[in-house]
Each structure stands twice: as structure tokens, then as C-alpha cells.
Structure 1
Amino acid sequence: MLIEKERHDGIRRGAITVLFRRWRQRQATAGNVYRTALGQVAVDAVDVVTPEQITDADAAAAGYPSAAAVVGDLRGRPGDPVYRLRIRFVDEPDPRDELAASGELTAADLEDVEARLARLDRASKTGPWTAATLEIISRRPAVRAGDLAEELGRDAAQFKLDVRKLKNLGLTVSLGTGYRISPRGAAYLADRRR
């Protein structure tokens, strides 16, 4: 879920507890926790509202001075539904970070990683990609995703989505620019290279 940077501090402090989004179709579900640039955010409720139903109280909870300011800031097509999300910051470590930090893998862990990577390769419409992606990130940390994708002859947007799948397995870490292999990923690659 994308959240504007100017809202990050307010969400962390608990001053912002509502977001408004104009989406063609719902992109958040009540009860889920989403990873965002500011950290984990829980969505406690999702309602469809009309712009006229947005109150000044909701606007204040969203960090706006008025309902009119919320409506004026809505992106998307005017005919698309407007969603009101009741949110809260989850001040807990991202489970992916904890997973990525574990540099010791048991035989069972290695088998599990291998099986998951094989599934990702099989599901790909363009063929196996996991090994080449891990290797290039290992060899070229902190290099722009577009440059890595170009070297592999891949579409940059799809490359970024694929790296996110590796991050979900705890094998890579996102940096300000590019990526690096996590301790878990380094342990996997060291075993693979043996």
C-alpha cells in the first residue's frame, strides 16, 4: 500500500488514523497488515463512501483541514469508488527483516528455500529467474534495479516484483538504491555454490 510521505509521521504517532483512496477496485482488506515505506500498517476497517459523506472529523483524522481538502486531494477517476480506511501503525519488527537476519540455515531450511524458489521459477511465464537474480544482486549490491534488469535482459517493473518475492523469503534486503543479499540469502548462496 502506498502512503504519502507527508502522512508517515502522523501515522506513526497515531495522529492520522484514516486514509481516503479512490480506487477502481478495493486494494485493501480490513484485518490485514500491510508493509509500507513507513513500516507495517494495520487496516481495521474499509468502507465505501461518497465524497459528500466525508466529514470534517474524518478529514482531521486523515490529516486534512477539511472534508473539501480531502475531496480535492483524491486521485483517480471521478467515477471510481472512494474508500475510507481506518488504520493504525503496527510498531513491531517486520517478520521479513527477522527472517532475513538469520544467517544460519538448517538442512530443512535449505530444502524449504530451494522448494520455494523452484515454485517461483515454475510459475514464471518467462522461465527460471531466481538463481540469476540472486547472483546479480550478490555480485552488484546497491545498483539500480533498472540497471540490473537491463543486464539480465528483463523488464524493470517485473524484475522489481520478482525481487520483492525474494525479499518475502528473507533472501534480499531493499536499499535506498538497489538491493543486497541478506544474511539468510548469503547462507543459501554459499550452500548452493558448494
Structure 2
Amino acid sequence: MDSTLLDQRLLYRVGVMIRPVELSAIKAGTIDLAFRRWDRPRVVVGTQMRTMVGLIEVTSVEQVDVADLTEHDALRAGYLTLASLLSALEQKADKPAYRVGLRYAGEDPRVALRSVVPDRDELATIQARLDRLDRAAKSGPWTRATLDLVDRHPEVRAPDLAKKVGRETAEFKTDVRKLKELGLTESLAIGYRLSPRGEAVVDAGLRRPRKRPPREAGTPIPHVGAPATRALRAAGLTTLEKLEQVTEAEVSALHGVGPFAIARLREALAERGSSFTPD
């Protein structure tokens, strides 16, 4: 595999998925190693992976003898003890073990791109790109219809959106990701919405700009799973700023909000230098 940029969906295939708590630790600099059992290296030095915390870069890849691993290796990989690391590596023990160096490499460039409203020349370039995607599709043009669908139905589950247009969910999600690569859509905990860049592209094809509800001010909550997201939304807790005004116990008491969601919310608040309101 060449040095490249891997999206989250590809990480499952190459066996380098990293848990959310570990991603946060890599971003903070407290974890800089991962250990994997592979039949061959699945990434190379310089590979960057798109994750929920931004870009994670591979800084080293080397095969290791499990017997040579140390407590220090375990701590750098986020394990409390060497024994816990060795226990994790007992799975797929017939495959070689690899030590993978990791570092936080900055924000996902698509995040910044989403807020950039294109000028006339750039808009023409985007339209030409959409035309190429349409021509390449065996089922016919889809880009404008998909942008319009997401625009009219934000925060709706992908299966429900796909059903509205008679498409398979997996195929529909693949196409939305292509639009995300252009900075036109944003993935939410539930469904999608157009970015300001995507709204500008849609409006360019209309007689007048579409009226949309104003975007909520504040920092959106991170991905914590659909049940927790629905519970937080029902309670009006849709930004980190609003979470700062309630206690952790109050959030934990919401049906659908489990330990994983609480840990992720706590980490997101800590990255802002804040926290839940003390009990």
C-alpha cells in the first residue's frame, strides 16, 4: 500500500481501527504506539488516517518479537500493563506482530474546506467535478439530486434517505462520501447536512437561495452513537457549551447515554479546557 490518506471506512479493511479513547490520547500525545497482528504490513510510514479527532499519521512500522516487548511499550500503546498488551496480542497469534508508531497530524483538511464558500471560478470547477461523477455512474446522474435530498432532509438516517430515492443504503452512503471529499457534506451523529460550501453549490442551481434554519452557534457534540445523540438532542444538549451547564450525573441519567458516550463527552470538554458542571 502506498503512502496515502485513508478514510475511516478503509481502516476496518486494513486492520488499523483505533478506539475513540485511544484517538483522543494520540491527539493529546499520551499514546504514540499501536500493536497489530498482520500477515503483512497494512500501512507504510507516512500513511495518514482520517479519524473523528483529525489526521493520525503512521511514523514507523516494524515487525517485532512479542517476547521482546516491554512495560514501556505497553504504556506507550495505552495499556496499563505489559500483561494486558500480551493478552491482546494472543488473538491471531499465528500472524506476525507489528509495532506501529502514530502521531496526531492536524485537523482533517475537509473540515476547513466545508466553510469555504466558492467564488465563481471555483464553483465552475466543482460543477465540472460533479459532472464527471455523474458521467461515471452506471445508474445515471446522482450528484445534484443527492445534494438536494440531504439539503431538504438534514439529520435523517442514511437508510431512510436512500429509501426515499429507491437506492441501496451502502451505495447511497458511498456516494455521499464522494460529496464529502469535495467538502460539500458533513457527517453527523445521525445522518448528514450540507456544509456552507455545499449550500452554495445547491443555491447556484436555483433561481434564488434556499431558506434554511440558521446553524446553531457553538461547538457540536462529538460522535457518541445514535442512541446517545438522540437522548442529548431531546434534552436540548446539542453543543459542548450547553454541556458545560449541566452535571455529568444529569447527562448519565438520560436514557441511551452510556459510559462510552460520557467518556467521549468528557474528553471533548477537556480538549476545550472545560468540563461538566460540578455536582
Fold shared per TM-score above 0.5 = yes
Richer in strand (by share): 1
Partner of 2:178: 165
Question: Is the CA contact (8 Å cut-off) linking 1:22 and 1:75 kept in structure 2?
Answer: no
Note the residue ranges of structure 1 that are not aligned, 5 or more in a row: none
**Counterparts in 2 of 1:41-190, with a 5 A limit?**
41-74=56-89, 77-90=92-105, 92-103=106-117, 105-190=118-203
Q: CA, structure 1 residues 78+124, in 2 after alignment: closer, same or farther (shift >3 Å)?
A: farther
2:170 aligned counterpart, secondary structure: helix
Question: Structure 1 residue 125: deviation in Å?
Answer: 4.3
Structure 1 CA distance for aligned equivalents of residues 110 and 34 of structure 2: 25
Aligned pairs, number: 192
Partner of 1:36: 51
Q: Which protein has greater RCO, CA pairs closer than 8 Å, 6+ apart?
A: 1
Question: Structure 1 residue 16: deviation in Å?
Answer: 0.4
Question: Structure 1 residue 23: deviation in Å?
Answer: 4.3
Spell out structure 1 runs of 4+ moving beyond 6 A: none
Counterpart amino acid of residue 118 in structure 1? D
Could you say what the CA RMSD is over the residues aligned between the two structures, in angstroms? Answer: 2.4
Q: CA, structure 1 residues 160+70, in 2 after alignment: closer, same or farther (shift >3 Å)?
A: farther
Question: Is the CA contact (8 Å cut-off) linking 2:53 and 2:107 kept in structure 1?
Answer: no
Question: Structure 1 residue 38: deviation in Å?
Answer: 2.0
Note the residue ranges of structure 2 that are not aligned, 5 or more in a row: 1-10, 12-16, 208-279
Q: CA, structure 1 residues 119+4, in 2 after alignment: closer, same or farther (shift >3 Å)?
A: same
Higher Cα Rg, which structure:
2
- Decide which moves more: 173-182 or 70-79: 70-79
- Residue 191 (structure 1) aligned with residue 208 (structure 2): no
Query: What TM-score, normalized to structure 1?
Result: 0.84
- Deviation readout 1:11-56 (Å, 9 max, x if unpaired): 1221100112334564433113221012221211122335445443
Question: Is the CA contact (8 Å cut-off) linking 2:45 and 2:61 kept in structure 1?
Answer: yes
Query: What TM-score, normalized to structure 2?
Result: 0.61
Question: Structure 1 residue 80: deviation in Å?
Answer: 4.2
Question: Structure 1 residue 187: deviation in Å?
Answer: 0.5
Counterpart amino acid of residue 31 in structure 2? I
Structure 2 CA distance for aligned equivalents of residues 173 and 75 of structure 1: 38
Structure 2 CA distance for aligned equivalents of residues 35 and 162 of structure 1: 18
